Structure 1
Amino acid sequence: MPHPDTWLKVTPGGLYCEPGGFYVDPTRAVDRAVITHGHSDHARPGHAHVLATRETLAIMTTRMGEGRAGETQQALGYGESLTINGVRLWLRPAGHVLGSAQVCLEWQGSRAVISGDYKRQADPTAMRFEPERCDVFVTEATFALPVFRHPPPEAELAKLLRSVALFPERTHVVGCYSLGKCQRLIAMLREAGWDRPVHLHGAHVALCRTYEALGVPLGDLRTATVAKKEDLKGAIVLAPPSAVADRWARRLNEPVPAVASGWMRVRQRAKQGGVELPLVISDHADWDELLATAAEVQAPEIWVTHGREDALIHALGLRGIRGRALHLIGFGEEDEAEETVAA
């Protein structure tokens, strides 16, 4: 049985499946691309052929425009499989954002799973992560340090709602990434009983409409830019983190700047960004979840694509799992890390 490192290669264009003739989340335009999810450090424009879930293809089209998200698109549902040049390929939910998938590959009895980005917490807008046993598991490591242990998201959201009740005259502006985090917060607010409008920065509107078109109800959404200042008293406004400390937010009613991100665990980051209300709500696995996932997939070898590789590889070694840093270039440029720095 061939080892996955004989048929899965790290190239300047990204991770390449040699017998299948395709890349997974390539970092530049290629002929054949399999895409795990719609964040722009994983989903780039200009590929000739793109395979992904139906939801990811729709998200890519919203973000890039018609025709730029692959000259031809092929949708594959979770659990459906197809064979490309002798390589069996199927997708499993990754739990990261709507439509996010792990790419499972099998060639000549050898199995590799490429996680993309993933989280293990529940999310009303995304299917829950499903572990798949394999010979090599390719994992992210965004929060791969023991300091990162994400609290229950419901408890963090309760902090926001308590603050809104305490300061009914002020507008709460929550910095959150436009794909995934924004829609997750809205769905969590609805679950918590918030039936008032949620106001959006213009940058968040299109993807919320896409989520709704894909069957994720988000309730009464309004554009914050056209709302009267008076109407935004006691309101919740969702915006890109970079807009929270910007002139855009100053026009609101005594804004309470908040940011929802796993990086809010680091107080210094919150302080530097002028964040009054840090909310530790992450769309990535934390330290314990990364290690629990490693145990569940039962892979004797784990490749780490981006993030804090050293600590994770050391911890895996203590558990008898061989770790390897892949040093793929170009990941982690979008999503929580970049957005929080911008804030």
Structure 2
Amino acid sequence: MRVTPQGLYCAPGDFFIDPARPVARAIVTHGHSDHARPDHGAVLASAETLAIMRTRMGEGRAGREQQALRPGEAVTQNSVGIRLVPAGHVLGSCQVVLDWQGSRIVVSGDYKRRADPTCAPFEPVVCDVFVTEATFALPVFRHPPAEAEITRLLDSLRLFPDRAHLVGVYALGKAQRLIALLRQAGWDRPIYLHGALLALCELYEGLGVRLGPLAPVPSPAKRGGGGLLAGEIVLAPPSAEATAWVRRLAEPVVCAASGWMRVRQRAKARGVELPLIVSDHADWDELLETVAAVQAPEVWVTHGRDDALVHALGLRGVRGRALHLLGRGEEEEDAAPLPAEAAPAAETAG
């Protein structure tokens, strides 16, 4: 394996993993846009990831040739054995297991170690080289139980029944996980969605993930009207609270579900009243536990706080290497413009 401008390249197999630019052959670990890019020639991924790519990019841009590989199924490309193993990040997310001439490299993609009712759990694979993310690779990042954060949200709803609760979530993975956690906690009322979240929630349902009653946020009866959905839960992309769309809601309590909500300054800067520490990435302890579980003597770090993780691994006798891959770690929902319904003129949209 070597690092190229396109990303991680497997020379003997002649393919890339999560390449940042269009290539002839790509293996894609999951559907977030910092890993799944359009216009590759041939794409190998889980069936769910391919479905997510088609939903987000369109059939014509999700790979001219698409090959779905079931978890545990093996194929060979130019003498390199390839398997996909669940990564626990979002629906369809997988680690890539490569076997060649008696050596094994595992490329994790993004992953988490917590239980998630919307995707298969992470499976550690013993290997010679483990390629890991390091999004939350600082000791300050120790995620609380997600169920406890959901309890805080429900407690706030009881405390402020005259206000809507607007929760900022990524469209892929976080939205569906939060919905499933709310259902597990007993919330059986409709959960209201910004239009940018509808398509992927429908796809999850179509792929067998039950989310319960969902509804689009209604339009006001008259232009400029508001005061809607008091006492209800509304999910929207993280940037929605900065648009005129939010005026529809009844004095919304602004919430955000992210591992970054551990950083108080970040929550304050975004105007978040109720930060919910719900992450789809491994925290500090889980990163170290995972490295121990895979027993790799060498660990490569793709993105995140690679300096802290490489240092900690060195103290444990593990060789660490920072890859500095470009374009990783910023899922597009953080910064991308919202669909037209979020603009002020869309107050009358359906």
TM class by shorter chain equals over 0.9
**Residue of structure 1 in register with 2:346 after alignment:** none
Partners of 2:305 and 2:137 in 1: how far apart?
5
Please state if 1:14 is matched with 2:1.
Answer: no
Please state if 1:27 is matched with 2:20.
Answer: yes
**Residue of structure 1 in register with 2:189 after alignment:** 196
Structure 2: which amino acid aligns with 1:83? T
**Residue of structure 2 in register with 1:67 after alignment:** 60
Partners of 2:227 and 2:306 in 1: how far apart?
48
Partners of 2:34 and 2:314 in 1: how far apart?
29
SS in 2 for 1:196: coil
**Residue of structure 1 in register with 2:287 after alignment:** 290
Structure 2: which amino acid aligns with 1:247? A
Partners of 1:132 and 1:40 in 2: how far apart?
25
SS in 2 for 1:19: coil
Structure 2: which amino acid aligns with 1:246? T
**Residue of structure 2 in register with 1:222 after alignment:** 215
Provide the TM-score with structure 2 as the length reference: 0.93
**Residue of structure 2 in register with 1:332 after alignment:** 329
Partners of 1:313 and 1:336 in 2: how far apart?
28
Please state if 1:258 is matched with 2:251.
Answer: no
Corresponding residue to 1:147 among 140, 143, 149: 140
Partners of 1:324 and 1:266 in 2: how far apart?
27
Asked if 1 retains the 8 angstrom alpha-carbon contact of 2:228 and 2:250, the reply is: no
Written as runs of structure 1 = structure 2, the 5 A alignment for 1:1-343 is: 8-226=1-219, 229=226, 232-334=229-331
**Equivalent pairs: percent with the same residue?**
69
Partners of 1:338 and 1:80 in 2: how far apart?
36
Asked if 1 retains the 8 angstrom alpha-carbon contact of 2:228 and 2:248, the reply is: no
RMSD: 1.3
Please, which moves more after superposition, 172-181 or 328-337?
A: 328-337
SS in 2 for 1:130: coil
Structure 2 spans left out of the alignment, 5+ residues: 337-350
Structure 1: which amino acid aligns with 2:169? C
How much has 1:330 moved relative to structure 2? Answer: 1.1
1:105-150 Cα distance to aligned partner (Å, 9 max, x none): 0100010000000000111001100000000000000000000000
Asked if 1 retains the 8 angstrom alpha-carbon contact of 2:41 and 2:63, the reply is: yes
How much has 1:247 moved relative to structure 2? Answer: 2.2
Partners of 1:132 and 1:336 in 2: how far apart?
31
How much has 1:22 moved relative to structure 2? Answer: 0.6
Asked if 2 retains the 8 angstrom alpha-carbon contact of 1:36 and 1:42, the reply is: yes
1:201-238 Cα distance to aligned partner (Å, 9 max, x none): 00000000010010001111100143765651101000
Structure 1 spans left out of the alignment, 5+ residues: 1-7
The 3 A distance-change label for structure 1 pair 141 and 338 is farther
SS in 2 for 1:67: helix
SS in 1 for 2:61: coil
The 3 A distance-change label for structure 1 pair 83 and 73 is same
Partners of 2:247 and 2:220 in 1: how far apart?
14
Asked if 1 retains the 8 angstrom alpha-carbon contact of 2:191 and 2:215, the reply is: yes
Partners of 2:19 and 2:113 in 1: how far apart?
25
Partners of 1:73 and 1:336 in 2: how far apart?
25
SS in 1 for 2:281: coil
How much has 1:251 moved relative to structure 2? Answer: 2.3
The 3 A distance-change label for structure 1 pair 251 and 39 is same
Asked if 1 retains the 8 angstrom alpha-carbon contact of 2:16 and 2:26, the reply is: yes
How much has 1:249 moved relative to structure 2? Answer: 1.3
Partners of 2:327 and 2:133 in 1: how far apart?
13
How much has 1:336 moved relative to structure 2? Answer: 8.0
